[in-house]
Each structure stands twice: as C-alpha cells, then as structure tokens.
Amino acid sequence: MAERPVEKGQTVRLRLDSLAVGGEAVGRHEGMAVFTLLGCPGDEAEVEITEVSRRFARGIVRSVIEPSPDRVDPPCPHFGDCGGCQLQHVSYEAQLRHKTAMVRDALQRIGGLTDVEVGETASMDEPWRYRNRAQYSAAVNESGELALGFARFHAHEIVALTECELQHPLSERIRTAIERLLPPTDQGGRERPLLLGVETFVSFSAGRALITLVCEGQPAFVRPLADALTEDVSEVAGVLFARRRGRAAVHRSPAELVMGEGHLLEEVGGHTYRVSADSFFQTSPVQAARAIELVREWADIGPGDTVVDLYSGVGTFLLPLAGRARRAFGVEAAESAVSDGKANARAWGLRNVTFYQRNVERVLPRWVERGRTADVVVLDPPRKGAGPIVTASVAKLQPRRIVLVSCDPATLARDLKHLAELGYPCARVQPIDMFPQTWHVEAAALCERQAEADGAA
C-alpha cells in the first residue's frame, strides 16, 4: 500500500482553490485533496490535518499566510466555533460565485449533465437576519444555567449564543427571554436538561412568532413559561409543546398547543399563506417569492392543464399555479401542512385544488397504475431528493414539463440524471441563494419532455 502524503496532526502549507459541498475550502498536498475548515478559496494557509482517509484528508486553518482577496472579517463572535454557518469569512459576492460553481460541478460530476444552462446564483439584497425559523438546542452550563445555541462544528457540544446574525431579531429576543425566564432548578440537574430545544417560526409580514418547546416528558414549567413568554415578548402569537422521540431533540412528537394560536399568516409575493408551527415553509420569504415566480414562469400553466405538486407543503408553489389551471393536486405527508394548504386554498377562493395527505413514494406509483396523467409536475423534495421511484413515476404521468426545486446540488444532479434517462432532459437550472453565509443553495430546474423538444428543433 502506497504511503499517504499526510498524517493526522501534521501541519502543511496549502493554496486553497475551490469550495466544496459542506463549506470546506479545497487544496492539494502532493496530489491529495485536503478539505479545509475555515479556509477561503484563494488563501495560502497553514493547515493542521485532522483526518486522513485513503483518497482525501481533512484539516483546519491554523494561520493564514496570504489571505484571499475574497476573505473578510466575520461579524459574528461565534463564527468558527458554532457550526450554524460556514462562510461568514467569505465575501458575499464570492459566496454567490462558489455556489454557482458547486451546482455546475454537481450537475457535471454526479449527473453527467454537461450542456445544461446554469444561471448565476440569485442574490439576497440583505444576506443577514433572513431566517424565519430557528431550532435552538439547549444545554446547562457549569453554573447550572440554561443556554440555548447551536452545535459546534463536527461535534454534539452546544455553543451558547450571545447573538446570531442569521436569525430574525424576534427569534433572538425569544431565545434570550427563555434563558432569563426559566430558572436553573427547573432543568432537572446539569447533566440532563428537561428543556431540550426551542423552535421559533416568525412571520416577517405580521411581525409575530410561534414557539415550540421540545422537552423530555412534559415538565411542570411548560405552562408557566408559556405565560411568562407571552407577557415578556408581546409579538408571541402562540406557544406549543412537543416531546422528544429517540435520543435527539430534532426527533419529536407533533406540537401541541399550550396557549395562543398554532399558526401564523405570512405574505409572500403578494399572496398570504397560513403556516403552522409544524409545517415546512421556505427559509427566506424574500427568496421564496423569487422561487415562486420562477416556478410559475417555467411551469407555463394553461387554462386546461392539470398540475401536480409533490411534497406540496402548505401550497407554496401549487396555489399560484392553480389559479391558471383546470385542476391542481398536492401530495404532502405532513398533516399540519395539508391542513394549512386546504385552508389557504379556501382563503384564496380556489375550488379546483385537492390536497392528499400521503407519502409521495407510496401514492405516486398507485396513481400511475390507475392511468393518471398530468400536464405539469412540480417537485420540491426534502434534502435527500426525490429518488428513482418518484422520478420514474413522474415520467409515467407524461407531463410536458417538470419543475424540480432542490436544496442540495448532489441530490438535484442525481434526480436530473434519472429524469434525463426517462426522456426529460434538463433545459435550465437557476440557483437561488436561500441560505447566505452557509454552503447551502436552493436551485430550480426545468425539464421538458424529449419528444416535444425534438419536435420543436
């Protein structure tokens, strides 16, 4: 076996030249790729090797010898420690360039798609304080006091926050209020706090928030804390409670209303949506409006069309399309989102919309067996992508167009590759920066049926 060019604990000098999925900068040492935490493409840096495998290594920047022209000072005091952000040290203009490159690279390397038109990543006018949803984890510090924050880079330890530059200011006010209002004695000891996490959802247009307290069991402090929060933070519209399922706080039961309301109204692109605490909604209302308009344009719905929206959520994409279609169907597994979608359709005065609370992977093959068809299909799957069962079934619905919205370049590339093999080659991809200061990037893709494309040529 050939000797590896680096060893764990070794410090090497690297020129970093690109940005990888995950937010690490990439350099090479004697031909081996080194994925480098806190590096900026263009840096020449001293990198300590933290992990070595057969084909690559990982490291962390210990000193910058010659900084990249794209390197900037991160405004957040927790950057480099907290794992919530990866790119605050990279100028926003450079972040956009690298996200475009990541999408193009994934399409070519994973999907084998070399002739797809990829637009420049659509920027956010204000790339700070843009998140409408926060998921804080709870810990108890050495003094027995509650601390809310996010996990450390590549670790389970929680970094207690003094501030977060990405969250809506109302979420941050709620976080500090909970830390102040919940006595240490209510946490059940330092090793195992009873409050495991706090989720907030903020309506930018209404200026109001929902709070979900994720707990071990149902502690006695839930109702008194809910009362105190609504008095302390006047913009709190409702407080909910959920029990942890399994070992991680993110795996929880459906939220139960403690007091107030369980949903908010959010205006996006001139449309009002009802969104419950448990329902998925795009992270940034501003960029969501761009995505909605792009999907509407690419779907190109006609008055006689049937449109199907898979993973339809609260109807974010489906309802603007339904106003032009003959029939519109949404499929979504989450009960709260389906309830919101139905309420939104009623509020919009749409009578041609039907929502199904079903698992997409299960219901779609059954639709195909029954001979259902669609003129346009919209896909907005979770990060894992749609997968081959769904893409194969979508192709059998025989739509003329498929619009796919993805938050992961790798799964986007895999899904597009499969759709192309099924006769739906991708024509265009438009990245949208839904997540500034992080490596994540949203992208919309347009696929058109091969027969029509050939016939028009």
Identify the three-state secondary structure at position 362: helix
Residue 288, pLDDT > 90, answer: yes
In a domain, 3, yes or no: no
Percentage of residues in the chain having pLDDT higher than 70: 95
Predicted pLDDT at 304: 95
Neighbouring CB atoms inside 10 A of 121's CB total 23
Whose CA is closest to 266, among 332, 213, 313, 223?
Answer: 313
330 shares a domain with 255: no
- Choosing from 244, 268, 292, the residue where a domain stops is 268
Geometric angle at alpha carbon 11, from 9 and 17, rounded to 5°: 120
Residue count of the chain: 457
Per-residue pLDDT of 110-128, as tens digits, reads 999 999 999 999 999 999 9
314 shares a domain with 193: no
235 shares a domain with 288: no
Predicted pLDDT at 451: 67
Predicted pLDDT at 266: 98
Which sequence positions are flagged as catalytic?
407
More confident residue, 74 or 455: 74
Residue 404 CA to residue 385 CA, distance in Å, equals 10
442 shares a domain with 306: yes
In a domain, 278, yes or no: no
Predicted pLDDT at 393: 97
Predicted pLDDT at 456: 45
Give the torsion through C-alpha atoms of 248, 250, 256, 260, to 10 deg.
130
308 shares a domain with 446: yes
155 shares a domain with 40: no
- Mean pLDDT over 296-314 rounds to 97
393 shares a domain with 350: yes
In a domain, 276, yes or no: no
CATH code of the domain in which 211 resides: 2.40.50.1070
Residue 21, pLDDT > 70, answer: yes
Residue 197 CA to residue 337 CA, distance in Å, equals 22
In a domain, 407, yes or no: yes
- Choosing from 32, 51, 71, the residue where a domain stops is 71
Residue 345 CA to residue 338 CA, distance in Å, equals 11
CATH code of the domain in which 58 resides: 2.40.50.140
Per-residue pLDDT of 153-198, as tens digits, reads 877 889 999 999 999 999 999 999 999 998 765 555 545 578 999 9
Residue 141 CA to residue 239 CA, distance in Å, equals 25
Question: What kind and span of H or E run contains 172?
Answer: helix 169-181
Residue 73, pLDDT > 80, answer: yes
- Mean pLDDT over 267-295 rounds to 97
435 shares a domain with 287: yes
The answer to whether the CB of 153 falls within 8 A of the CB of 81 is yes
Tell me the CB-side half-sphere exposure of residue 266, using CA atoms within 13 A.
29
144 shares a domain with 111: no
351 shares a domain with 442: yes
- Mean pLDDT over 361-369 rounds to 95
What residues pair up with 89 in beta bridges, in sequence order?
A: none
Q: Checking DSSP bridges between strand 11-19 and strand 25-29, what pairing results, if any?
A: antiparallel
CATH code of the domain in which 398 resides: 3.40.50.150
Note down the domain range covering 58: 11-71
399 shares a domain with 376: yes
In a domain, 229, yes or no: yes
What residues pair up with 159 in beta bridges, in sequence order?
A: 150
Percentage of residues in the chain having pLDDT higher than 90: 87
Structure token pair of residue 288: 């969501």
Angle between helical axes of 169-181 and 222-232 (0-180°, round to 10): 130
- Mean pLDDT over 315-340 rounds to 97
Mean pLDDT of the chain: 93
Structure token pair of residue 236: 């709190």
Question: What kind and span of H or E run contains 19?
Answer: strand 11-19
206 shares a domain with 224: yes
- Mean pLDDT over 342-347 rounds to 98
Taking CB atoms within 8 Å and a gap of at least 24, the contacts of 33-36 are 33/57, 34/6, 34/58, 34/59, 35/59, 36/60, 36/61
Per-residue pLDDT of 38-51, as tens digits, reads 999 999 999 999 99
Predicted pLDDT at 156: 81
Structure token pair of residue 14: 């690297």
Beta-carbon contacts of 230 under 8 Å, excluding residues fewer than 6 positions away, are 236, 239, 259, 260
In a domain, 246, yes or no: yes
Per-residue pLDDT of 399-429, as tens digits, reads 999 999 999 999 999 999 999 999 999 999 9
Where does residue 412 rank: exposed (0-12), middle (13-18), buried (19+ CB within 10 A)? Answer: buried
Q: What are the DSSP calls for 214-246, one per residue?
A: EESS--TTHHHHHHHHHHH-TTEEEEEEEEB-S
In a domain, 1, yes or no: no
- How many domains are there within the chain? 3
Residue 376, pLDDT > 80, answer: yes
In a domain, 76, yes or no: no
